[in-house]
A and B are shown apart, each in its own frame.
Chain A
Amino acid sequence: MPVTLEVNGETHVLDVPATRRLLHVLREDLALTGAKLGCGEGACGACAVLLDGVPVVSCLLPVGAAEGRVVTTIEGLEDEAAVLRDAFVAEDALQCGFCTPGQMISASALLAATPAPGREEIRIALAGNLCRCGAYPKIERAILRASGQGAS
């Protein structure tokens, strides 16, 4: 049975098993490679996408569970996240950049819910997104900057 999926405002009818992981469908079937497979076990957050505006690890989510809901990937975030992206660049909040799409997804969800988050709120909201390069201090500053709180 085909799966109907709404991604970044477009509706796709896909002939894939409903148990296939959402990340796999995004990357391999829809060629949306911004979300990354860092672990495939829900432990790193590199695959984060928004499901009805809430960050989820798409490597664990069966695509069938995303039917009837709105999926937003980093590629679909582009316009609304321009301020956030610019802040990440200005603060150098990325090094290798592999985790960055996931960081951006979590940060954008945080800012949507909490327009002026404090440091603790940032640390809680982003704690599921690993960054092995250790850009964390600057990620925190970038989110503060994007929320108009300046770099502390």
Chain B
Amino acid sequence: MRPRFVKSQREMEGRFEDVWVLVDDDDDLETWPEDADLTIVGRPATRHDGPLRASGGARYTVDVALPGMLHARVLRAPVARCRVTSIDLDAARRIPGVRAVLGPEGPFTMHGDAPLTADPAWAGEPIAAVAADTPDAADAGLLALALELEERAPLLLDDGLTEQRFTEEPRDVVRGDPDAALASADVRVELTCETPAHVQSPLEPHAAVVRWDGDALTAWISTQGIFDARRELARRFGLVPERVRVISEYIGGGFGGKQGAGIEALLAAELARASGRPVRLVLSRHEDQVVGGRRARTRQTVTLGARRVGTLAGIELAAVVEMGDGGWIFPVAEPALSLYACDDVRAMTFPVRTSLRAQNAFRAPGMTEGVTVLEQAMDELAAALGIDPLDLRRLNHVERDQGSGLPYSSKRLLACYDRAAELASWTDRERLREPHADGLLRGMGCATQIWWGGGGPPAHATIRLDADGRALVTTGIQDIGTGTLTSARMVAAEELGLALDRVVARGGDTGPNVYAPVSGGSMTTPAVMPAVRSAAGKVRRILLSLAADVLEIAADDLTVRDGRIRSRDGALDVDIVEVTGKLGNATIDGTGTRGPNPDGFRVNTFGCQIATVAVDPGTGVVRVERVVAVHDVGRIVNPLAASSQLEGGVIQGLGYALTEDLVVDPTTGYPVNGHLDDYKLPTIADVPEIVCDFVDVPDANLPNLGSKGLGEPPIVPTAAAIANAFAHATGRRATALPLTPARVLETLA
């Protein structure tokens, strides 16, 4: 090992921070070139845990049952803002089977702000929590609390701007002189559109099971970030992290909404401490829909100015974001600033406080909202200029990040446009608008995708090769459904020269203390897989060195591939067990550390989607018939899982465009559709034909696979492409999404 510290930049969902990074020069492997002769990476592989998941044997957090375990329930604010005037904690404690009750005043042992309050500021904010022998007894305990409250007027989005009611200072990012540029533009268009409140809706609700063993804490949490959860629990309960173990082996979806320990793990830990028993806390579906999180509703006005030839002269964006009780301002403004070449831009973001929980991450947060409106404005501009919408986008292509001035590490967006146009038969799109026998109006629309996804340090992996010639990859990454551990096996097997079935991968447990980042920001593949490959490279070098001893030949003259060690002259060809078998109970171990991305670049992902829709002008029903999705995310590790990610993102984007919206009752501020029968997710019957393709060229500037992240990119352009297809089909543009039948009929009237 040749470890050293270097100063580098870390990126998470577009936010950059300077960090010290541990670098081991031995980890620095040359990026596999485009024409590398790979036998496993880049070929479809089924996920190893597929059979277990498909047979009901995978144990999710909600399935964890411990001896003596109690069941917890949370009393929540039934209106958006209120003040508790009476609550009877002792009455709850008298209910048979109730073992622990926490009220707004606790009693808490945790440090920091308590997650219970007598002064709720948002719909569903926790007031009290009960743990009991059975869920029924816990429910009885909640009823016995006999909550009385005084309602207060909710804070709503509508008057947020006039009241200047912001969670933080509004942002105003200006580049150049947008006022002058827009004033002197040959053509100007302005578009206002509202985007809906979009609920992650993972089918496994937020859940935690917590057990204390003395002062050690074990927590099973349905979370996208086990190490964040460990840090949070350790800090809150005054423990060193080593005394906290977080396990998240199978996670029933997250999509951004399951970060860190969550209130559920904090409350379960406190209830477990108070009762001396393990505690399970699982949110109900209604709780999860109301307090699990959401993509913020936005109201955006975009003004575009262009020269007659089609190049953008100026862009102005004013985005009102319904923050709820706070949270980060996600990069709604980013597409205006970076999607197309433009020297003169103003992007304003107004973060309005309302009486909902703080908005949180949902797959490409901010960027999706921004692209959804900006890309509709681009189509309006194309119409005003009389230029083909795809050509307009090509005309405004940009090769560098305009905010930083840095070049992109790689950008193959033009290839995405060309391939998507070909797959969608874009040049025939006007034919769709001819009358159809079924009376439906058809149209086709496109949209461009941008997102980050470069990953970065820190991420680690260890690999242990045993006497049987089998390798165990250990990482701290949790698999939220992306098949990431299968990717880790593939990368390790490729580098080790082993068959895939001789490599297993383990994750989702902080116990081994092998750090991996949160499953978010499209960073899993680009952060973790280089560490896996580096670890495998070290094991391979040791293996060949040992083989050299056994075979009495120089290590440099040996290769390992397909589980066989061969001499370069072809004279020797032995199964690796000939060498590993001599290890006995010893193992060959290697540790890999993810180094920094190279300075001087911005790492982003790109893509283009083209949607075809059919609109029934009589009923207002919009059906998406086909979506073509072509993305550039560098090298694809597992094409099978990658296409699944892509389809999944498109389908969530389809829900965002057509049916999904968390609607608030203006009198109480409480959501009216916090259930799955009234918050309409796409079903199998709603799904169009989805045609996927990737540019699949490694990014030569990224270590050491050339892969970027893929989780978030596919949702970014879908709603915009659908909205543009709707406008193409009908000649009308809705002022808000989703395109429900009622809204469509209004728009067509």
How many residues of B sit at the interface, in one of the four size bands?
A: 35 or more
Q: Distance (Å) between the CB of B225 and the closest chain A CB?
A: 16
List A residues 28-44 near B (Cβ within 8 Å).
28, 31-44
Q: Pick 14 A–B contacts, CB within 8 A, sort by A.
A: A34-B56, A39-B675, A46-B203, A75-B56, A89-B54, A92-B640, A95-B253, A96-B203, A132-B202, A132-B255, A132-B652, A133-B648, A136-B684, A138-B647
Query: Which of the 9-residue segments B59-67, B77-85, B509-517 touches chain A?
Result: B59-67
Q: Distance (Å) between the CB of B710 and the closest chain A CB?
A: 12
A96 to B524, CA, bound (A): 15
A39 & B640 in contact (Cβ 8 Å cutoff):
no
The answer, among A44, A46, A137, for a CB contact under 8 Å with B690, is: A137
Q: A89-B54, A94-B53, A98-B60 are in contact. Are A43 and B690 (CB under 8 A)?
A: no
Nearest residue in B to A46 (C-beta to C-beta)? B203
A133 to B285, CA, bound (A): 17
B residues near A140, Cβ cutoff 8 Å: 684, 687
Given contacts A33-B62, A38-B285, A39-B285, 17 further A-B contacts (CB under 8 A): A34-B56, A41-B285, A41-B677, A44-B285, A92-B643, A95-B645, A96-B481, A97-B481, A100-B54, A127-B684, A130-B203, A131-B203, A132-B253, A135-B644, A137-B647, A137-B690, A139-B684
Q: A38-B285, A96-B252 are in contact. Are A133 and B481 (CB under 8 A)?
A: yes
| B residues with CB within 8 A of A | 46-47, 49-51, 53-60, 62-63, 65, 200-204, 250-253, 255, 282, 284-285, 480-483, 640-641, 643-645, 647-652, 675-677, 681-685, 687, 689-690
B63 & A74 in contact (Cβ 8 Å cutoff):
no
A136 to B65, CA, bound (A): 31
A92 & B681 in contact (Cβ 8 Å cutoff):
no
A97 to B641, CA, bound (A): 13
A31 to B64, CA, bound (A): 10
Asked if A55 is an interface residue, CB under 8 A from chain B, the answer is no
Q: Distance (Å) between the CB of B660 and the closest chain A CB?
A: 11
Asked if A134 is an interface residue, CB under 8 A from chain B, the answer is yes
A95 to B202, CA, bound (A): 12
A residues near B282, Cβ cutoff 8 Å: 37
The answer, among B65, B251, B683, for a CB contact under 8 Å with A96, is: B251
B residues near A134, Cβ cutoff 8 Å: 647-652, 682, 687
Asked if A25 is an interface residue, CB under 8 A from chain B, the answer is no
B47 & A85 in contact (Cβ 8 Å cutoff):
no
A129 to B200, CA, bound (A): 17
Most buried by A among B56, B683, B689: B56
A20 to B676, CA, bound (A): 22
The answer, among B62, B644, B652, B683, for a CB contact under 8 Å with A37, is: B62
The answer, among A31, A44, A100, A124, for a CB contact under 8 Å with B685, is: A124
Q: Distance (Å) between the CB of B282 and the closest chain A CB?
A: 8
Nearest residue in A to B204 (C-beta to C-beta)? A98
The answer, among B202, B676, B684, for a CB contact under 8 Å with A126, is: B684
Residue total for A at the interface (Cβ-Cβ under 8 A): 56
Q: Distance (Å) between the CB of A126 and the closest chain B CB?
A: 5
A79-99 CB contact bits vs B (8 Å, 1 = yes)?
A: 001000110111010111111
A residues near B644, Cβ cutoff 8 Å: 92, 95, 133, 135, 138
The answer, among A31, A74, A132, A133, for a CB contact under 8 Å with B55, is: A74
A122 to B49, CA, bound (A): 25
Q: Distance (Å) between the CB of A71 and the closest chain B CB?
A: 14
Q: Distance (Å) between the CB of B648 and the closest chain A CB?
A: 3
Q: A124-B685, A130-B681 are in contact. Are A89 and B46 (CB under 8 A)?
A: yes
A124 to B54, CA, bound (A): 21
Q: Distance (Å) between the CB of A141 and the closest chain B CB?
A: 11
Q: Distance (Å) between the CB of B465 and the closest chain A CB?
A: 27
A residues near B641, Cβ cutoff 8 Å: 92
B253 & A133 in contact (Cβ 8 Å cutoff):
yes
Q: Distance (Å) between the CB of A55 and the closest chain B CB?
A: 14
B203 & A136 in contact (Cβ 8 Å cutoff):
no
Nearest residue in A to B200 (C-beta to C-beta)? A132
Asked if A104 is an interface residue, CB under 8 A from chain B, the answer is yes
Q: A34-B55, A78-B55 are in contact. Are A96 and B253 (CB under 8 A)?
A: yes
A residues near B252, Cβ cutoff 8 Å: 36, 96-98
Nearest residue in B to A105 (C-beta to C-beta)? B56
Asked if A69 is an interface residue, CB under 8 A from chain B, the answer is no
Most buried by B among A33, A133, A134: A134
B residues near A138, Cβ cutoff 8 Å: 644, 647
List A residues 41-82 near B (Cβ within 8 Å).
41-44, 46, 73-75, 77-78, 81
A residues near B46, Cβ cutoff 8 Å: 89-90, 92
A27 to B62, CA, bound (A): 10
Q: A130-B203, A134-B649, A138-B647 are in contact. Are A95 and B481 (CB under 8 A)?
A: yes
The answer, among A36, A43, A88, for a CB contact under 8 Å with B62, is: A36
The answer, among A41, A73, A96, for a CB contact under 8 Å with B480, is: A96
Q: Distance (Å) between the CB of A140 and the closest chain B CB?
A: 7
B47 & A92 in contact (Cβ 8 Å cutoff):
yes
A122 & B677 in contact (Cβ 8 Å cutoff):
no
B54 & A88 in contact (Cβ 8 Å cutoff):
yes
Asked if A123 is an interface residue, CB under 8 A from chain B, the answer is yes
Most buried by B among A85, A90, A95, A139: A95
Q: Distance (Å) between the CB of A56 and the closest chain B CB?
A: 16
B residues near A74, Cβ cutoff 8 Å: 55-56
The answer, among A35, A88, A128, A136, for a CB contact under 8 Å with B687, is: A136
Q: A44-B676, A98-B204, A138-B644 are in contact. Are A33 and B56 (CB under 8 A)?
A: yes
The answer, among A28, A33, A100, A122, for a CB contact under 8 Å with B53, is: A100
Nearest residue in A to B201 (C-beta to C-beta)? A132
A42 to B678, CA, bound (A): 12
A135 & B648 in contact (Cβ 8 Å cutoff):
yes
B residues near A75, Cβ cutoff 8 Å: 55-57
Q: Distance (Å) between the CB of B86 and the closest chain A CB?
A: 29
Nearest 5 pairs of A and B residues by beta carbon: A34-B56, A97-B53, A96-B481, A98-B252, A134-B651
Q: A34-B57, A38-B203 are in contact. Are A97 and B285 (CB under 8 A)?
A: no
List A residues 91-121 near B (Cβ within 8 Å).
92, 94-101, 104
A70 to B177, CA, bound (A): 74
A13 to B215, CA, bound (A): 41
Q: Distance (Å) between the CB of A33 and the closest chain B CB?
A: 4
A123 & B690 in contact (Cβ 8 Å cutoff):
no
A130 & B676 in contact (Cβ 8 Å cutoff):
yes
A104 to B687, CA, bound (A): 19
A42 to B285, CA, bound (A): 11
Nearest residue in A to B207 (C-beta to C-beta)? A37
A35 to B57, CA, bound (A): 10
B483 & A95 in contact (Cβ 8 Å cutoff):
yes
A43 & B676 in contact (Cβ 8 Å cutoff):
yes
Q: Distance (Å) between the CB of B186 and the closest chain A CB?
A: 42
A residues near B652, Cβ cutoff 8 Å: 132, 134
A124 to B686, CA, bound (A): 10
A residues near B62, Cβ cutoff 8 Å: 33, 36-37
